Every structure is written in structure tokens, then in C-alpha cells.
């Protein structure tokens, strides 16, 4: 029992359309409160206490104190399976405006925050509340997305890639290899961006698969890899690096259904075999191995990586 939108941000004076659906078996409402004397820190509890004081009268009034000074906008009590649309103009005054469900006992789980801010990007945050004022900006939410940032479980030259809305991976430009794949949301970089870089981005999901070493066995003396960069096609990177005289390319893209990953290696200049390992949560198999035409030895290896059901 909670609001799926934990917080949202609007500009002062903006016209806001709020759709409130109640998929639950109990009635619920949403009441947007003024910041009050605590600047919104009480999460609207002042109103909840006033509603509780109504006692038996509460039910008649739909658990709502229509003239309470903290109430800005109210959906009214919405019955199970019903929905309503609230149109309102955001306050001119910047600040934190809590919203609550006043049905008795719901408040502790059912509360959220409307932020009115000139500087922050308007938008909606599902799940946990965010401190990053740019978390909802289009540049941060775009999929796919390539983002170089300090990442956990990787070297300092890490690259995070959002493949689509569900699947993401971390690639290490220091070691020139995939480190891990996760599902869920992408990253929250606030710990890095709020300051001078002293922190790591956090993964907003669950790691499905870690790769302990490159799945490739090159036929020649490999030497340390030298990262050459990446090119973007349809927003996704194709990484390039060199090991000795061998050039390698790697691209990871979504399968047609978007539920699995297709990984393609192109190797030029030496023999190559691939022995990727599956893990508990991800099946990793070589689906195709092709010899490329041309004078130089060249191979393409296709690997499919499918999350376990």
C-alpha cells in the first residue's frame, strides 16, 4: 500500500494534471498539503492528526477536513477500482509540499512529496525519493544511454550503458571487458555528481550476471588491451580495443523482444574462440561463429545472454 509516484517536481505556477487511480481493495485519497511550519518535513502529519481527532465523525466526512489550512488540493475519497483526475495550478512559492492519504492508518506508508522548484527539472519519480535535482531530466532518463562514471565492482574507467528500460551493463575501459549486467532501473549518480567525484554511482536494480574474465581466447600473444574508444549506432556503443596486433570490437544490444541481450564480437588479426560462462540468473551461449571474408584473419562471434525466468 503506497503511492507508486514517491515524489514529483513542478515549476511554480505550472498547470498540473494528476491522475489518481486506486487499484487497491480499500478506499484511498490524495491530499496535497502546504509545507506548513516544518517546510514539508512533517510529511503532512499535522493534517493526519487533525483527521484522527474527528473520531467517529471522520467516516461521514470522508476522512477529510475541508477547511484545514494545510489542504491545497484533494482528490476526495476514491473507491476501489476507481480513478480521478485533478487539475491544479502549482503554487508560486518554491518548497516541499507533502501529499498524504488521510484514510486512518494509511499515512505511514502512503505519503509523498511534490517539490515546487524553478531550478529542478519537472518530472515524476517512481520508487524511492531522489535527492538529485536532475534525476528526472530527459538527458538522465533517455534510453539507450552511455554514461561514464565511477561504478561499483569495476575499475575507475568504467562505462555504464542503459540498453533499454530494463537491462543495463557496466563495461570497464581499463580492462576492455564487460563487468556485469543488471536489470531494473539504470544508475543514480548523485553520490558522484553532488560533489567533486568522491563517490560511486549506485545501481538501481539487481545484478544478474558478473563476468570474471573476457570470454575470448585470442590465438596470438594477447598483451595488455589498449582501449580505442567507441562509436554510437542507434544510441548504443560499439567498443573497440587492441591486444597486441589483434583488433576487437564488442557490441551489446537488446534482442528483438527486448528481454535478452545479443552480444557481437568482431575479431581481426588472430584466431579466436569464445567460451562464455552462464550464471545462476543468466544463460550465456554462443549462437553463431563466422569467419569473415578478407585477407586478414577475421571472425564474428554472436552470443545471446538471456535472463533466467
**Residues within the interface to other proteins (CB under 8 A):** 121, 134, 137-139, 145-150, 154-157, 159, 173-174, 189, 193-199, 227-233, 237
Shortest CB 64 distance to other proteins, Å? 36
Shortest CB 111 distance to other proteins, Å? 27
Q: Supply 183's cell numbers.
A: 536489470
Nearer to other proteins, 197 or 223 (CB): 197
Shortest CB 77 distance to other proteins, Å? 37
Nearest to 214 by CA among 202, 222, 205: 222
User: Alpha-carbon distance 23 to 25, whole Å?
Assistant: 7
Q: 228, 298 in Cβ contact below 8 A?
A: no
Nearer to other proteins, 76 or 174 (CB): 174
Nearer to other proteins, 24 or 185 (CB): 185
Shortest CB 54 distance to other proteins, Å? 43
Overall size of the chain counted in residues: 309
Nearer to other proteins, 81 or 155 (CB): 155
Nearer to other proteins, 55 or 195 (CB): 195
Shortest CB 247 distance to other proteins, Å? 13
Nearer to other proteins, 65 or 201 (CB): 201
Shortest CB 123 distance to other proteins, Å? 9
Shortest CB 71 distance to other proteins, Å? 30
DSSP letters, 208-270, are EEE-SS-SEEESS---SEEEEEEEEETTEEEEEEEETTEEEEEEEEE-TTSSSEEEEEEEESS
Nearest to 268 by CA among 237, 236, 244: 244
Integer CA distances (angstroms), 60 to 44, 88, 96, 122, 306, in order: 22, 26, 30, 37, 54
If DSSP codes are grouped into helix, strand and coil, which group holds residue 279? strand
Nearer to other proteins, 196 or 257 (CB): 196
- Name, in order, each residue with C-beta under 8 angstroms of 287's C-beta and a sequence gap of 6 or more: 302, 303, 304
Nearer to other proteins, 33 or 158 (CB): 158
Which element (helix H / strand E) includes 49?
helix 45-52
Shortest CB 166 distance to other proteins, Å? 20
User: Alpha-carbon distance 138 to 122, whole Å?
Assistant: 10
If DSSP codes are grouped into helix, strand and coil, which group holds residue 179? strand
Amino acid at each position: 500500500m503506497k503511492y507508486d509516484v514517491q515524489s514529483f517536481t513542478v515549476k511554480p505556477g505550472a498547470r498540473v494534471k494528476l491522475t489518481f487511480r486506486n487499484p487497491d481493495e480499500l478506499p484511498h485519497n490524495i491530499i496535497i498539503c502546504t509545507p506548513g511550519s516544518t517546510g514539508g518535513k512533517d510529511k503532512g502529519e499535522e493534517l493526519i492528526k487533525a483527521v484522527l481527532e474527528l473520531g467517529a465523525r471522520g467516516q461521514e466526512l470522508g476522512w477529510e477536513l475541508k477547511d484545514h489550512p494545510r489542504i491545497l488540493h484533494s482528490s476526495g475519497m476514491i473507491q476501489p477500482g476507481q480513478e480521478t483526475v485533478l487539475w491544479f495550478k502549482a503554487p508560486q512559492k518554491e518548497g516541499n509540499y507533502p501529499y498524504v492519504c488521510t484514510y486512518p492508518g494509511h499515512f505511514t506508508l502512503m505519503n509523498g512529496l511534490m517539490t515546487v522548484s524553478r531550478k529542478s527539472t519537472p518530472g515524476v519519480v517512481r520508487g524511492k525519493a531522489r535527492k538529485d535535482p536532475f534525476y528526472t531530466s530527459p538527458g538522465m532518463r533517455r534510453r539507450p544511454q552511455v554514461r561514464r562514471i565511477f561504478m561499483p565492482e569495476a575499475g575507475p574507467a568504467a562505462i555504464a550503458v542503459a540498453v533499454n528500460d530494463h537491462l543495463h551493463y557496466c563495461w570497464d575501459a581499463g580492462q576492455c571487458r564487460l563487468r556485469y549486467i543488471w536489470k531494473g532501473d539504470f544508475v543514480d549518480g548523485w553520490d558522484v555528481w553532488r560533489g567533486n567525484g568522491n563517490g560511486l554511482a549506485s545501481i538501481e536494480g539487481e545484478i544478474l550476471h558478473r563476468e570474471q574474465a573476457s570470454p575470448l581466447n585470442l590465438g596470438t600473444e594477447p598483451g595488455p588491451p589498449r582501449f580505442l574508444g567507441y562509436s554510437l549506432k542507434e544510441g548504443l556503443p560499439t567498443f573497440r580495443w587492441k591486444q597486441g596486433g589483434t583488433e576487437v570490437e564488442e557490441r551489446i544490444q537488446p534482442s528483438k523482444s527486448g528481454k535478452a541481450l545479443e552480444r557481437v564480437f568482431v575479431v581481426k588479426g588472430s584466431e579466436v574462440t569464445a567460451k562464455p560462462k552462464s550464471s545462476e540468473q543468466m544463460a550465456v551461449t554462443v549462437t553463431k561463429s563466422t569467419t569473415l571474408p578478407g585477407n586478414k584473419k577475421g571472425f564474428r562471434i554472436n552470443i545471446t545472454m538471456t535472463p533466467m525466468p
